[in-house]
Chains A and B, each alone.
Chain A
């Protein structure tokens, strides 16, 4: 590790388990160093990620065109009804608006869009430049809300205000504003009702988890925010438990719901067979209902019978291979370490963009000796550590894919470009299949082989 050149100021963000550095805590949650080829995004991006899957909302981006262009329908969040969230709306601020202020243009855009689309709720995202020129987003949104009788909510998401995590928080605050006090008498219900937080229904993952819970005898009230609708979000306080998958984005909302409405929460993970089974058991135990606990074991047993033969097959093929992980949140990284063990692989490098200290402590506990652990990495670091650690595969997002391929390393997308669900028991099979497909592809032979010049 000593031979690896780290950017000055980056030393505290990289650790190797089992080294003398191990006792030092890793730095995280800090601003990236200026001049980095950072893999991170901004506050706006974080807010957009969380709110975007509210399917019947009109999402209007107030700013120059870019911010709306780059986030137009890229998240892969599936939905089951009309899809207003898949249209790209922007006020397209021009120079004149920057000089004289963009409020008039925003008001005009709302006047044009609300009567035409008649959305039940409107989110207006502010971007960097709007924060700088000081448009009074609150006032414009309030006026439009009164004029049209629909909630028009400002999302204060100027990119420079902080990291992506701040954007998650901003979005949670906006969602919280929509939630009304509980109305149903919970005791009268026959089946427990819970909220599922931090699943954006990429490739339909939230639907899978919903179906497991339904079989067990638990109803999902609302998913934040995968395939969600305004009316569902309003009723979110009518639940007796919040389960959180993506803690990075939704932990804050769960805390707020606990404070305001005394709804307890628990962190779950539906990545990998082991974590999925554990999480279902945890939820069942919470209900304290013998019927639910029994049915949970039945569902788990049936699913294991169904998927384990496949997973064992992949395990045989993949045993001894090494994986590197670079994902958004810490909890996903933790799950992935366990999930790779299920398929016989060892994680030799693990990093996140927005992991929290608690996440890194767990990662430090469960990782094997010698594992490189890093926060907010850049491509140069990823390259060096993948090579020095001998990784056969990288798990990451859009920008990491070609980097891995150029190094001749297999790749799995665990971000919004995934094309099949990776959550739950069937997701675990999909994951193992995808890992197998990429690691065992014959294309790597072409990379390693080749013509020899000057021979014969």
Chain B
């Protein structure tokens, strides 16, 4: 595999991708929409997009992923997709009966310029049902941008201020970012342990990790409800986790309903989890409970017990920007050297809502005195070339990393989205102190398994 990747860096000016490290907006939008209770995501475009996105999510979550499509034909592409959308809305309510339809566009409907709000206004929407939309052109950003746009639409369509001016209710909005349902559960658990009320949106837990009951539920019990989404406008405060996936919605909510927000890293690793809990503690003037102190203490204990396994080990990390940034910080805290860090998502400029991925990671590396390659809008061909030039002890990333891991014979820890070739990942959190424990387990297992495999008989030891 990958026998075609040369070591010498070749000139790449075309802007094309070889072995992409990202995919397109609509799949992120579809995932975010699944985080609303009783919602059917609707793909406004031709059938292939919807089919590919459902397949991709199905493979990662191993649960039925429902979404409808406008089934564009040549006619719709020439005369506009408005009629198709109106028919779709009618048909979806008639047969699938969701409470909410979340429409996202595709590169096709964006390019022909379909006016989605007008089509929605002209549609027959049954009493008590809701239709909303996000524009998600596939030729901008990545799947993370799509997640961000759909989450932002939840604010622009639904958030409202019910309380009198300046009054706020004592709860926090949490925007979890593009993470697995298990991570959303873990973030909620941490918040509950702090004794703080919250609304999380979107929340795919209970939707894409629904329990087996012997029945097929088109709309499993999970997901943020529309009344909850409306109520977000009365919160004391918003925490957005992961700038790329979540900050835009937090900014909109601040603008629309004057809810202050703080933008944090995904709480992956000890430092980011500390920051998340401290933000809650500060805003609600509450104490960190003993239970969480204990979890943190256990994590520190394990980090101490294992630090010598990690120290000085070179690691390459790739994937979605929000989780890669947090993972880089965690690896640094373990004494590892993240020498190659890459995301496929375009990086944005420093200071804008999207923040500068490269600047942020470089700043972390500089502070730790690590010299490394950092790139946004990169592809796995580039990552492979870097690794050929400066080999690493460990590769961390999504399933697509397995090619490089095999080609270069590097231990590999699966992390992020998508993971298509291993089960259970969506059920196991990597966030919070417990998530950090699991990451340590995975990373040290990968490194020590490798030690065992490579050890000569005389060096093969029982205790490590």
Contact = CB atoms under 8 A, between A and B. Distances in A.
Interface of A: 5, 7-8, 31-45, 60, 63-72, 82-84, 86-95, 97-98, 105, 108-109, 111-113, 116-117, 127-129, 131-133, 159-163, 379-380, 383, 398-399, 401-403, 405-408, 447-448
A431 B108 CA distance: 40
Interface in B238-292: none
Residue among A43, A66, A109, A127 having the largest count of chain B Cβ atoms under 10 Å? A66
Residue among A128, A380, A402 having the largest count of chain B Cβ atoms under 10 Å? A128
Nearest to B87: A34
Residue among A37, A71, A72, A405 having the largest count of chain B Cβ atoms under 10 Å? A37
Contacts of B12: 112
A109 B16 contact: yes
Contact of B23 (A31, A66, A159, A402): A66
A65 B142 contact: yes
A45 B54 CA distance: 14
A63 B106 CA distance: 12
Nearest to B45: A128
B307 to A, nearest CB: 38
A403 B50 contact: no
Given A87-B18, A112-B13, A406-B64, A35 B70 contact: yes
Contacts of A68: 17, 20
Residue among A44, A129, A163 having the largest count of chain B Cβ atoms under 10 Å? A129
Residue among B12, B48, B94, B142 having the largest count of chain A Cβ atoms under 10 Å? B48
Contacts of A5: 95
A82 B22 CA distance: 25
B4 A88 contact: no
B23 A69 contact: yes
A437 to B, nearest CB: 17
B18 A8 contact: no
Contact of B137 (A95, A133, A380): A95
B55 A94 contact: no
Nearest to A91: B16
A229 B87 CA distance: 45
Interface string B60-86: 001111111111111011000000110
Interface stretch (B159-167, B210-218, B441-449): B210-218
5 contacts: A70-B52, A92-B17, A129-B108, A160-B73, A399-B65
A89 B353 CA distance: 30
A35 B76 CA distance: 14
B305 interface: no
A437 B137 CA distance: 44
In the A-B complex, list the 9 residue pairs whose CB atoms are closest, starting with the nearest. A42-B48, A66-B24, A35-B91, A35-B88, A108-B14, A64-B138, A69-B23, A109-B16, A70-B52
A402 B84 contact: no
A66 B51 contact: no
Interface string B186-215: 000000000000000000000000101111
Given A405-B212, A407-B214, A447-B214, A159 B49 contact: yes
B458 interface: no
Nearest to A62: B16
B187 to A, nearest CB: 25
Interface in B12-63: 12-20, 22-27, 40, 42, 45-56, 58-59, 62-63
Contacts of A95: 137, 139-140
B303 interface: no
Given A31-B71, A128-B108, A398 B49 contact: no
B427 to A, nearest CB: 14
A112 B73 contact: no
Given A35-B89, A98-B111, A401-B58, A92 B137 contact: no
Contacts of B17: 65, 68, 88-92
B18 A36 contact: no
Given A35-B92, A133-B111, 6 more contacts: A38-B68, A41-B51, A65-B22, A67-B24, A69-B24, A406-B212
Residue among B69, B90, B112 having the largest count of chain A Cβ atoms under 10 Å? B69
A454 to B, nearest CB: 18
Given A65-B23, A66-B26, A97-B139, A129 B95 contact: no
B47 A406 contact: no
A112 B91 contact: no
Contacts of A69: 20, 22-24
A8 B47 contact: no
A452 to B, nearest CB: 15
B14 A111 contact: yes
A159 B138 CA distance: 14
B16 A105 contact: yes
A32 B69 contact: yes
B96 interface: yes
B463 interface: no
B10 interface: yes
B3 interface: yes
A280 B353 CA distance: 65
A160 B16 contact: no
Interface in B425-441: none
A428 B127 CA distance: 54
A442 to B, nearest CB: 15
A117 B18 CA distance: 12
A113 B108 contact: no
Nearest to A44: B48
Residue among A64, A90, A112 having the largest count of chain B Cβ atoms under 10 Å? A64
Contacts of A133: 111
B462 interface: no
Contacts of A38: 47, 50-51, 68-69, 71
A91 B17 CA distance: 6
Given A35-B70, A95-B140, A398-B55, A129 B27 contact: no
Nearest to B61: A402
Contacts of A109: 14-16
A82 B74 CA distance: 38
Contacts of B10: 112, 116
B139 A41 contact: no
A35 to B, nearest CB: 3
B54 A7 contact: no
Given A34-B87, A113-B16, A128-B106, A66 B73 contact: no
